[in-house]
Amino acid sequence: MKPAPFEYVAPRSIDEAVTALARGGSEAKVLAGGQSLIPLLNFRLARPTLLVDLNRIPELAHITPRNGGVGIGAMTRQVTVERNADLGRSQPLLKDAIGWVGHAAIRSRGTIGGSLAHADPAAELPAVAVCLDARMRAVSPRGSREIASEAFFQGYLTTVLEPDEILVETWLPALQPNTGQAWLEFARRHGDFALVGVAASITLRRELVQDARIVLTGVGGKPVRVREAETLLVGGTVEDRVGAAADAARTAIEPEADIHASKEYRAHLAGVLTDRAVRLAYERAATVPGAALDTRRTLEAGQRRA
């Protein structure tokens, strides 16, 4: 099938885009990489009357270190992030996860902002954003506002963005000292959406967990932060607490069954992947330059035992 007819505009600046989108009202949509929107148009599951193409707005595609962290423009291609060596060092969770987004051809057109605004419940980047406590900036005729990532995602394919708002940038805070991060997921075939994915970030103080963030994808309508598991880890060693934390992740969620997996299988995957991701994040935290020597010794002793 081909899309229902629509009007098309390709503004050259954010201001022009905001004006055009406002003119289109609730029936207008922005076009980013088109990797999710174009199939929806072709199947006529979406029938916007106006498409506002963001591809000719250079100010939306950038990677800018700022306030200790980094701002990533909404139209930055996923492949640009994947290949950026500085981001690879400064944002290891993002680097871990981005290669799991579809296939190379998808990532060469797909954008960071498009993935976040589309809010697919099995996507990688929304879970990464919540795990990193990212902040989104959106603009509309009413001005600009910043939105915390946990508040940004509302449910299945739904964010807090109003129809006349454009996501312009996502800001990621700097990696804290003695922090390790990991993304793990399980999909039926390479390039498929994850059945379950997990983002883990572990900050150590000597060998004890000082801070933990664990966010799952594929187990609910939006990224699911498993606070029960985080709380269990904090104050103990990973070796002692990771089993209980993984159990907590498995039982705290209420995944849905679909043609790809039963809810029991998804819950099982959530537990297994949480266990592995927390251990991997811990290993990385313990081996970052400057990690406490006793932490490294604990890790090495554990590896000798294994």
Quote the least distance from Cβ 40 to ligand FAD, whole Å.
7
Quote the least distance from Cβ 179 to ligand FAD, whole Å.
24
- Cα dist. 138→75, 117, 148, 151, 296 in Å? 13, 11, 11, 13, 42
Q: Return the structure tokens found at 240.
A: 């002692």
Beta strand pairing status for 7-9 and 50-53? parallel
Quote the least distance from Cβ 246 to ligand FAD, whole Å.
24
> Of 163 and 236, which has the nearer Cβ to ligand FAD?
163
Closest CA to 184 of 113, 237, 249, 119: 249
For ligand FAD, the binding residues (CB under 6 A) are 29-37, 54, 74, 101-102, 106, 110-111, 113-115, 117-118, 120, 123-125, 161, 166-167, 193
Closest CA to 201 of 87, 126, 288, 282: 282
Closest CA to 115 of 131, 132, 127: 127
Quote the least distance from Cβ 276 to ligand FAD, whole Å.
19
> Of 66 and 189, which has the nearer Cβ to ligand FAD?
189
> Of 92 and 102, which has the nearer Cβ to ligand FAD?
102
Quote the least distance from Cβ 65 to ligand FAD, whole Å.
21
> Of 32 and 224, which has the nearer Cβ to ligand FAD?
32
> Of 24 and 114, which has the nearer Cβ to ligand FAD?
114
Report the length, in residues, of the chain.
Answer: 306
> Of 43 and 227, which has the nearer Cβ to ligand FAD?
43
Q: Return the structure tokens found at 228.
A: 């029960």
Quote the least distance from Cβ 282 to ligand FAD, whole Å.
26
> Of 57 and 226, which has the nearer Cβ to ligand FAD?
57
Q: Tell me the residue ranges of DSSP E strands in 83-239.
A: 135-140, 143-148, 153-155, 158-159, 166-172, 179-186, 196-205, 208-217, 224-225
Closest CA to 38 of 1, 68, 9: 1
Alpha helices by DSSP H, 70-179 = 78-83, 85-90, 92-98, 104-109, 112-118, 124-131, 149-152
Terminal CA-CA length for the chain: 56
Quote the least distance from Cβ 31 to ligand FAD, whole Å.
5
Quote the least distance from Cβ 202 to ligand FAD, whole Å.
24
Element (H, E) at 30: strand 28-31
> Of 54 and 200, which has the nearer Cβ to ligand FAD?
54
